[in-house]
Amino acid sequence: MGGYGSGRPGWRGVIEGRRRADIRMMRRRRWLIPGAVGSLSWFFNGEPLGEVSYRVGVNLDHLELLYNIRDDDGAPWERVQIRVPITRVPCRYGGERTYWRCPRCWRRCEVIVMASGGHAWGCRTCLGLRYTSQGLDTHHRLQHRADSIYARLGSDGGADWI
């Protein structure tokens, strides 16, 4: 017991630390209009982290991502263009819901994530990513849950709740 490789898997990347495109957010902000053009930006502590231009297909059947990347060794900028299919599923009581089709595994998903090299995008499953809470032990997971409940109630979880 306790040999090499035992314990909780910590080698997998975390989805919260990646650049991602959420179709629910794009729907809420009304960015998914056929033929629309715009950009997705990411920030960390107020500093810009990256930007990707997008173009929605005329039939709302795909999203085209356009951006430039460069390796760490100072190579010239490389233009990347990725096409992410969009699928629409009818809802039971009318209307429809839109999903991405993962460019790697073709699964239906609501969030796609940029792979570490920047040359590809995929869903959380096919990129092998996890949520931060999945790497916590039992005590820290329960503490995180209690902190989120206290935050919803408008307190920091101090002695005033005893």
Nearest to 21 by CA among 69, 77, 64: 64
3-state secondary structure (DSSP) of residue 125: helix
pLDDT given at position 127: 87
What one-character-per-residue DSSP string does 26-69 give?
A: HHHTT---TT-EEEEEEEETTEEEEEEEEEE-TTSSEEEEEEEE
pLDDT at res. 5: 57
- The three-class DSSP label of residue 3 is coil
Tell me what pLDDT residue 34 has: 92
Q: What is the pLDDT of residue 11?
A: 62
Pick the more confident residue, 109 or 144.
Answer: 109
What's this model's pTM, rounded to 2 decimal places?
0.74
Please write the tens of the pLDDT for every residue from 6-25.
555 556 678 887 888 999 99
The pLDDT of residue 75 is: 77
Q: What is the pLDDT of residues 91-140, one digit of tens each?
A: 999 999 999 999 999 999 999 999 877 888 999 898 888 887 787 888 88
- Per-residue pLDDT reduced to its tens digit, 28-78: 999 999 999 999 888 878 888 788 999 999 988 999 999 888 777 777 888
Q: With CA atoms as reference, report the closest residue to 83 among 105, 68, 66, 97.
A: 66
